[in-house]
Structure 1
Amino acid sequence: MAKDKIIVKGAAEHNLKEVNVEIPRDELVVMTGLSGSGKSSLAFDTIYAEGQRRYVESLSAYARQFLGQMEKPKVEYIEGLSPSISIDQKTTSQNPRSTVGTVTEIYDYLRLLYARIGQPHCPQCGEEISSQTIDEIVEQVLELEERTKVQILAPVVRDRKGEHQDLLADIQRQGYVRVRVNGQIRELSEEINLDKYQWHRIEVVVDRLLIKEGVKERLADSLETALDLADGLVIVDLIEGEELLFSENFACPDCGINLEELTPRMFSFNSPYGACATCDGLGSKREFDPEFILDQQQSLNEGAIIPWRRTRSKYYPQLLAALAAEYNFSLDTPLKDLEQETIELLLYGTPRKLKFKYTNRYNRTRLHETSFKGIIGYLQRKLREASDKGRKRLEKYMSIRNCPDCTGQRLKPESLAVTFGGKSIIEITEMSIEEALNFFTEVELAERDQLIGGQILKEIRERLRFLDNVGLNYLNLSRAASTLSGGEAQRIRLATQIGSSLVGVLYILDEPSIGLHQRDNARLINTLKELRDLGNTVLVVEHDEETIRAADHVIDLGPRAGKKGGEIVAQGQVEDITAVEESLTGQYLAGEKKISVPKERQQTNGKFLEIKGAAQHNLKEIDVEIALGVFNCVTGVSGSGKSTLVNEILNKRLKQEFYKSKEKPGIHQEVLGIEEVDKVITIDQSPIGRTPRSNPATYTKVFDYIRETFAQTPEAKQRGYQKGRFSFNVKGGRCEACSGDGIIKIDMHFLSDIYVPCEVCEGQRYNQETLEIRYKGKNIADVLDMTVEEALDFFEHIPKIKRRLQTLYDVGLGYIRLGQPSTTLSGGEAQRVKLSSELGKRSTGNTVYILDEPTTGLHFADVKRLLEVLKRLRDKGNTIIVIEHNLDVIKSADYIIDLGPEGGEYGGEVIATGTPEEVAQVESSYTGQFLQNVLEH
């Protein structure tokens, strides 16, 4: 077996045609080719899948029962395979508690740093907390009211699992007869059985005494004993009253506040010991929002209280009438004209009792007396009593706001009051990666602190440096992981892997350059090389030209996509690829094929969407004009504010206007020119469906016409079959053994579930009678198994089917099958299916189309086709707004808005606007600098 190669023989997964390939080890290898040519099938579904399967097979039977059975990919054999790690574009986590800091483990090191060398301060007065003497503790206890009975306790176990029998025996040997276990006093002579799986508190009862004159000496002795037993902590329990915690180590004598010893869990917002008690460490709370509850344009009689519009209850109208009479306001006045005090009264209620005659639905009248709880009060009560379905209905009247107690900082006041270098742990996490790196590079430690925290600081600095190297210097550690783009999440995992310093690993990456400006691409490539130089094989599926040229070895798949792909067209160094005529990649790399700069650009019609005072996130209260009727491109380095401007502000504002969306736009003053457009369509990379039942044919509605065509066949008419007969979602024509799924899930009990083709329909989804109906020799299952390109020829004489299939073909999806489950489509493919669906509709000419990085997963040739499609939409009078880093797209735009100059705090400004030629002349624009090169060729 060759030790310097990974040898793959007979790979036949998906569209791969018995591929044989040798991949050099310990090199940076790039796999490229047209979308759908088989790159991912070879890299992820074959090589990575086999690596994972072998790893699972190497484990014990006990471990395998939790991991499940893994199918062997369709490959004859693979030799020289190393342990494999996949770094793909899936978002890191949807958990609201997961942040960049927790995902990268930097926050874990920060917690340790603060616990070991953090400086505690009083959460009330802000003064540094220092140790206090027994005399000071005695004086504080003696300040309690005379004749107060107290119990002096030594907390020897605080929230630690275990049975602690040895400890209890030791306490008894010291002469103590009572302990308090989880709040209950127990005699040590009793049998105390502690369940080791529970959390416990055990406090030794040292003394009981009455606070009175002359008790000082005895109190001091008891406190000293307790402090010795519990390492500097003591509890003074006011029997049938509150408990006071005193500490020799951390106490503020001015405020009477005592803190426990600092531990890492005190700085965790995922632990009850550190999390803010109000929001449980989330930093925010979902609360009823007056904006979603009240319609300011209407009066109460017209239904201004939105949640009460559909209620049949006669109670609320009569209650409001009584309230209006008591406080002298009109039920017929629009809310916008009422006093603010009246609005507050409606929302939050009044304790004053209201007396009114109440007539119920049975027309029985009685005198009723009640206080008005306020609309929000009534909704909160309903929320407490609601079922899950009811809660979801009520959540549309709520918005997420910062927690009122921790103001979004997630931690308890005691934790926030601990500082390092003059900053709390949350202040550190709110810095950008670049700022945090500078802070930890410049911070100086005392000799003792250097001994304790030096290694921790080294780990923090290294991890921050890795994040900076992969172009994520604009992110902050408190950024929610769920808000990261696929490219950002992938680069975070890449930085984490470099930090792990593993050797001899096969890393497989899926387009790591996504979302990265050309300025930062070189740093990413250097990071990939650093991973290689550690002694690893780095296999990258990529379309980026700079990455391809930087590779040690290139493997080009094709020659086309789908059934016409799945072969190795060329491999070797870049010169080897350009020498192969059949290689489309080679032709573009050699310059024989290219995406030309448009000879003419669409002129603006003088109308604009004007965003005024955009200030969300890092935007610096900017005014931005987006030209209508042209192809706009919003550019800038990663983190400059592009997505915030387009997705958070403009898109949400337009959706509010056209679709009454409840999502709040980001901070801005106003958007002018909305009257010039009639709708907004967002074409993003989210899945077109969540289940295998959804597919390109159903999503684009072409399946409706295909089913109609089958229903029009003579045999279908003779049997009385309607088009519903050819749906796999309803009873009648589908196979009932699998309910039209084509597959059956088998419960393997302690192994993972497996899916097998239905034995009755053999995966065809329909019953035998339905499959007997044929059009041009094909049944409905045969049609669903066709690629778009095959179906285009098959239905060439049916215009309404051909038109929709043509749009799928035009966006570069000729290779996907009509019935391909939506769950198997990549984000880029899902985006192009949506784009084709929009192309198939009749255009009004006044639509705004918003696309976020549509070139994801696209080869040079596919980008060229995508641009033709976008220009078709523009030529109908529509407005195209694309967020993009791809220079071929940017140079093809009619109008550019370039943001920057940097990412994060140093971005958020408009650097340049105008045509690509105009932006290229702006020296301060990074985008302009790169445009100069591509416009000259």
Structure 2
Amino acid sequence: MRMPEPNRQQPDGQIVIRGARTHNLKNIDLTLPQERLIIVTGVSGSGKSSLAFDTVYAEGQRRYVESLSAYARQFLERMEKPDVDRIEGICPAIAIRQKNSVRNPRSTVGTTTEIYDYLRLLFARVGRTICRGCGVEVTRETPEAVAGRLAALPDGTRLLVGFVHAVDASAVAAALDGLRRKGFGRLHVDGRAVSFDDLDPEALAGSDALQVVVDRIRAAAAARPRLTEAIETAYQEGGGNAFAVEVGGAEPARHEFSERFECRPCGMAYEEPQPTLFSFNSPFGACPTCHGFGNVIELDMRLVVPDETKSIAQGAVEPWTKPHYRSHLADLKRAARRRDIRMTVPWSELSDEERRFVIEGDGAGYDGIRGFFSALERKKYKVHVRVFLSRYRGYRACADCGGTRLRREARDVRVGGRTIDEIAGFTVAAACRFFEDLTLSAKETAIAERVIREIRRRVGFLSGVGLDYLTLDRLSSTLSGGEAQRINLATSLGSSLVGTLYVLDEPSIGLHPRDNERLIRILGQLRDQGNTVLVVEHDADMIRASDYVVDLGLGAGTRGGRVVYAGGLDGLSRETTSLTAKYLRGDLAIPIPAARRRRLPNSQALRVRGAAEHNLKGIDVEIPLNMLTCVTGVSGSGKSTLVHDVMYAAVKRAKGAWEKRVGAHDGIDGVELLNDVVLVDQTPIGRTPRSNPVTYLKAFDPIRELFAATRAARARGFSPSHFSFNVPGGRCDACEGEGEVRVEMQFLADVFMPCEQCDGKRFKPQVLEVTWRGLRVDEVLD
């Protein structure tokens, strides 16, 4: 692979680290060049993250936050000082981790990268509102625009410009007096202007509207200012409406105008485009039904009838298999006998009429599934009823906005023939093509040029980090850790910050080799903007593209934490003690198995039919059992969708351990050959500050039982729970088993001090008096 040539110019400054001892770092000294692409590598557990994140990033972030006012610091993340003697030349730091921490259900790829903000501005400035009734563009008829149209009539055309004045039929005379006091003196009657003095009040009796003439003008270019003034007056007095009548011809021609933003032929009013109209985070722009979420929670029949291969008699209606609600199944069976509903055929083979009867009921004693849940809704003040209802509810696309999240008026505005929700539904690659091909008028281009340039730039960054396949309306919460990291990387490029330290955690994980070169190029651009880029990485291509390499080792844990090599790539290739260098030179390599398991004909397999979730195209997949199978493909090809959303969820559902939605597929065969299915992903396993490997693996349970079985423990009446730091009894009451106490420092970073009561040992003194083979329980944990 051809790599971009690194910038070899001498750095302007250095980051000097002295005496770093965070975690397993062995009091290391290190000097890093600024404005360079620096790779920190080494075996897993050698201290890479401890150096990059827990030392360099932590100190950079801490110093930046502490440079702010005390008022501002209380709103920002506070970090404790890393265990290091000194760090010099540190820059404000930004960490881009392999972690998706976004939980906001409104956040999307477009909003995270601010592309959607620029889209809203684009549509507000140059968007064209199209009438949903007749398809005509809706415009606001300003006095200047109306005057221009009237002035363009043939020279000398006689015009009566006026407005319609609503009156009470019994008070026409009083209305005329009021108009006379305002300076008006003529009405339009039967195609001509008639003075108030020449009017017959009796002839106007019973009228509910008077057509008041503001001015009589002959059309000409020079009359445009006078026309503008007359239309302004007509708008002001006529509630935003005006008219102009051509007189003197064979048949008077009437023109009507409105300064309101509405379609004149249809009489339908529209909202004038503004940025908040296109925001689903604003009550003004959000769909009033789903409040900008794009979906609503309601009864999900796929959860009510999870297995369509079962018949009603076999318990296809899952909630009625519960002992408490079996009486409703009996009601259904009685009603079904009266209506000849088939009870012994699979649910999938019932006719639409039969299903409708089961779901909706007959209104004559049988209320149906919906009636059953409606009755439960009235009892949801009870906790167990709410829990029961939640098991059968699911998200469905909002019927009013179709999942677009926006109100109807926002979806009437178009740019380049597309609405904003259509553009948000584009993939990054499609959005690139759309904005490259977008053609606007000269006036629109002058208005929107900078906005479009910024959109193209940010979309290009997303494409550059290998995310062409993501749609702009993809929920941020559904992204993998690697995708979230690359989106944050693209956002950082878009922000154009300089003099910043960026720390990244293995950005090449989950990235197909096809996209690796593009990622390296993006990191190079970030560096060339004047930033220092520090990357924890194992990838050989990334290491070869670096300006500076720090190799930690030699081993992991207590055997790691030392700097094996720090310098350019050429020097690393000559390093004899570095394990990384040996793999780069080819001295060591992962051996490819000489012999592989061969799949026998007609061997057992798990078969998925018609998988069609997300971008899967109704595929059939066969996974052989008792073999190691690898599912691979370019980023966004559907690997996680197939394995996680379809296969894993379907097997779990078949085993009765999955109540969530299963990815779309026709069927799955071979589930009976499996005892269980386990998903191992990158989700953090710890849920509490006390969680550690020995508790997560349940290995601490037998350890506690060993201590509880000792003679000293039995004499004191200790049970296994006394040797747990998670429950009261044997744990230290002061620190609640955490071993340290947090000291609130108001605006400064909180300080964690060893507990004075237990001296960091987590347990009460009497518990620590119990030993097993000479070891206390805290010593076993250490």
Report if TM-score (shorter chain) is over 0.5. Answer: yes
Alignment deviations for residues 660-700 of structure 1 (CA, whole Å, 9 cap, x no partner): 41233222222233333332111111122311232211221
- Matched residues in 2 for 1:642 and 1:88: separation? 22
The answer to whether the aligner puts 1:437 opposite 2:449 as a matched pair is no
Report the counterpart of residue 213 of structure 1 in structure 2: 207
The offset of 1:392, in angstroms, is: 4.2
Superposition pairs for residues 686-835 of structure 1, below 5 Å?
686-745=683-742, 755-785=752-782
Report the counterpart of residue 455 of structure 1 in structure 2: 450
Work out whether residues 3 and 80 of structure 1, in 8 Å CA contact, stay in contact via their aligned partners in 2. Answer: no
**Partner SS for 2:632:** strand
The answer to whether the aligner puts 1:344 opposite 2:344 as a matched pair is no
Supply the AA of the counterpart residue of 1:64.
Answer: R
Report the counterpart of residue 469 of structure 1 in structure 2: 464
- Matched residues in 1 for 2:565 and 2:779: separation? 34
Work out whether residues 67 and 751 of structure 1, in 8 Å CA contact, stay in contact via their aligned partners in 2. Answer: no
Report the counterpart of residue 369 of structure 2 in structure 1: 375
Superposition pairs for residues 416-431 of structure 1, below 5 Å?
416-431=411-426
Superposition pairs for residues 855-874 of structure 1, below 5 Å?
none
The offset of 1:17, in angstroms, is: 1.3
The offset of 1:649, in angstroms, is: 1.3
Report the counterpart of residue 158 of structure 2 in structure 1: none
Relative to structure 1, the CA distance from residue 301 to residue 527 in structure 2 (aligned partners, 3 Å threshold; closer, same or farther) is closer
The offset of 1:750, in angstroms, is: 6.8
**Partner SS for 2:629:** strand
Work out whether residues 428 and 462 of structure 2, in 8 Å CA contact, stay in contact via their aligned partners in 1. Answer: yes
Report the counterpart of residue 407 of structure 1 in structure 2: 402
Relative to structure 1, the CA distance from residue 770 to residue 108 in structure 2 (aligned partners, 3 Å threshold; closer, same or farther) is same
**Partner SS for 1:659:** coil
The offset of 1:228, in angstroms, is: 4.7
Report the counterpart of residue 296 of structure 2 in structure 1: 285
Supply the AA of the counterpart residue of 2:209.
Answer: V
The offset of 1:535, in angstroms, is: 1.3
Q: Runs of 5+ in structure 2 lacking a partner?
A: 1-10, 147-162, 172-181, 183-203, 216-229, 243-256
Report the counterpart of residue 903 of structure 1 in structure 2: none
Q: Runs of 5+ in structure 1 lacking a partner?
A: 136-140, 150-174, 176-209, 235-245, 355-371, 786-937
- Matched residues in 1 for 2:748 and 2:320: separation? 50
Superposition pairs for residues 426-825 of structure 1, below 5 Å?
426-606=421-601, 607=603, 608-745=605-742, 755-785=752-782
Alignment deviations for residues 847-897 of structure 1 (CA, whole Å, 9 cap, x no partner): xxxxxxxxxxxxxxxxxxxxxxxxxxxxxxxxxxxxxxxxxxxxxxxxxxx
The answer to whether the aligner puts 1:20 opposite 2:29 as a matched pair is yes
The offset of 1:629, in angstroms, is: 1.8
Percent identity between matched residues is: 47
Relative to structure 1, the CA distance from residue 742 to residue 25 in structure 2 (aligned partners, 3 Å threshold; closer, same or farther) is same
Supply the AA of the counterpart residue of 2:535.
Answer: V
Match of 1:75 among 84, 93, 96: 84
Alignment deviations for residues 211-235 of structure 1 (CA, whole Å, 9 cap, x no partner): 973414269999976955999699x
- Matched residues in 2 for 1:666 and 1:574: separation? 46
Alignment deviations for residues 332-372 of structure 1 (CA, whole Å, 9 cap, x no partner): 7678386643542443345x465xxxxxxxxxxxxxxxxx6
Relative to structure 1, the CA distance from residue 520 to residue 339 in structure 2 (aligned partners, 3 Å threshold; closer, same or farther) is closer
Alignment deviations for residues 409-450 of structure 1 (CA, whole Å, 9 cap, x no partner): 111222112111111111111111111111101112111011
- Matched residues in 2 for 1:65 and 1:392: separation? 38
- Matched residues in 1 for 2:746 and 2:568: separation? 49
- Matched residues in 2 for 1:113 and 1:231: separation? 31
The offset of 1:748, in angstroms, is: 5.8
Relative to structure 1, the CA distance from residue 546 to residue 334 in structure 2 (aligned partners, 3 Å threshold; closer, same or farther) is same
- Matched residues in 2 for 1:380 and 1:513: separation? 51
- Matched residues in 1 for 2:239 and 2:765: separation? 79
The offset of 1:528, in angstroms, is: 0.7
Work out whether residues 8 and 78 of structure 1, in 8 Å CA contact, stay in contact via their aligned partners in 2. Answer: yes
Relative to structure 1, the CA distance from residue 544 to residue 698 in structure 2 (aligned partners, 3 Å threshold; closer, same or farther) is same
Match of 2:380 among 379, 382, 386: 386
Relative to structure 1, the CA distance from residue 688 to residue 638 in structure 2 (aligned partners, 3 Å threshold; closer, same or farther) is same
The offset of 1:733, in angstroms, is: 2.2
The offset of 1:408, in angstroms, is: 1.2
- Matched residues in 1 for 2:419 and 2:548: separation? 48
Supply the AA of the counterpart residue of 1:43.
Answer: A
- Matched residues in 2 for 1:653 and 1:211: separation? 79
Work out whether residues 406 and 413 of structure 1, in 8 Å CA contact, stay in contact via their aligned partners in 2. Answer: yes
Cα root mean square deviation, aligned: 3.7
**Partner SS for 2:107:** coil
- Matched residues in 2 for 1:750 and 1:687: separation? 29
- Matched residues in 1 for 2:205 and 2:719: separation? 91
TM-score, normalised on structure 2?
A: 0.81
Work out whether residues 66 and 751 of structure 1, in 8 Å CA contact, stay in contact via their aligned partners in 2. Answer: no
- Matched residues in 2 for 1:109 and 1:219: separation? 46
The answer to whether the aligner puts 1:248 opposite 2:259 as a matched pair is yes
- Matched residues in 2 for 1:214 and 1:719: separation? 100
Work out whether residues 614 and 667 of structure 1, in 8 Å CA contact, stay in contact via their aligned partners in 2. Answer: yes
Report the counterpart of residue 56 of structure 2 in structure 1: 47
Work out whether residues 16 and 87 of structure 2, in 8 Å CA contact, stay in contact via their aligned partners in 1. Answer: yes
Work out whether residues 336 and 343 of structure 2, in 8 Å CA contact, stay in contact via their aligned partners in 1. Answer: no
Relative to structure 1, the CA distance from residue 562 to residue 229 in structure 2 (aligned partners, 3 Å threshold; closer, same or farther) is farther
- Matched residues in 1 for 2:341 and 2:432: separation? 60
Alignment deviations for residues 370-393 of structure 1 (CA, whole Å, 9 cap, x no partner): xx6643345356447635955444
Work out whether residues 346 and 375 of structure 1, in 8 Å CA contact, stay in contact via their aligned partners in 2. Answer: yes
Number of residue pairs matched? 692
The offset of 1:747, in angstroms, is: 5.6
- Matched residues in 2 for 1:535 and 1:685: separation? 33
Work out whether residues 121 and 275 of structure 2, in 8 Å CA contact, stay in contact via their aligned partners in 1. Answer: yes
Alignment deviations for residues 790-816 of structure 1 (CA, whole Å, 9 cap, x no partner): xxxxxxxxxxxxxxxxxxxxxxxxxxx
**Partner SS for 2:466:** coil
- Matched residues in 1 for 2:465 and 2:666: separation? 35
- Matched residues in 2 for 1:220 and 1:40: separation? 79
- Matched residues in 2 for 1:223 and 1:746: separation? 72
Report the counterpart of residue 115 of structure 1 in structure 2: 124
Alignment deviations for residues 825-861 of structure 1 (CA, whole Å, 9 cap, x no partner): xxxxxxxxxxxxxxxxxxxxxxxxxxxxxxxxxxxxx
- Matched residues in 1 for 2:780 and 2:234: separation? 82
Supply the AA of the counterpart residue of 1:736.
Answer: D
Relative to structure 1, the CA distance from residue 749 to residue 145 in structure 2 (aligned partners, 3 Å threshold; closer, same or farther) is farther
- Matched residues in 2 for 1:17 and 1:232: separation? 79
Relative to structure 1, the CA distance from residue 142 to residue 651 in structure 2 (aligned partners, 3 Å threshold; closer, same or farther) is farther
**Partner SS for 2:551:** strand
Superposition pairs for residues 3-402 of structure 1, below 5 Å?
4-67=13-76, 70-91=79-100, 93-131=102-140, 213-217=207-211, 227-228=235-236, 248=259, 250-294=261-305, 305-310=317-322, 312=324, 328=339, 336=347, 340-349=352-361, 352=363, 354=365, 374-380=368-374, 382-383=376-377, 386=380, 389=383, 390-402=385-397
Relative to structure 1, the CA distance from residue 481 to residue 232 in structure 2 (aligned partners, 3 Å threshold; closer, same or farther) is farther
Work out whether residues 247 and 260 of structure 1, in 8 Å CA contact, stay in contact via their aligned partners in 2. Answer: no
TM-score, normalised on structure 1?
A: 0.68
Supply the AA of the counterpart residue of 1:20.
Answer: D
- Matched residues in 2 for 1:449 and 1:681: separation? 56
The offset of 1:625, in angstroms, is: 2.3
Superposition pairs for residues 854-893 of structure 1, below 5 Å?
none
Alignment deviations for residues 619-670 of structure 1 (CA, whole Å, 9 cap, x no partner): 2222222222211111111111111111111111111112341233222222
- Matched residues in 2 for 1:432 and 1:233: separation? 44
- Matched residues in 2 for 1:680 and 1:645: separation? 15
- Matched residues in 2 for 1:626 and 1:481: separation? 31
Work out whether residues 15 and 38 of structure 1, in 8 Å CA contact, stay in contact via their aligned partners in 2. Answer: yes
- Matched residues in 2 for 1:647 and 1:297: separation? 23
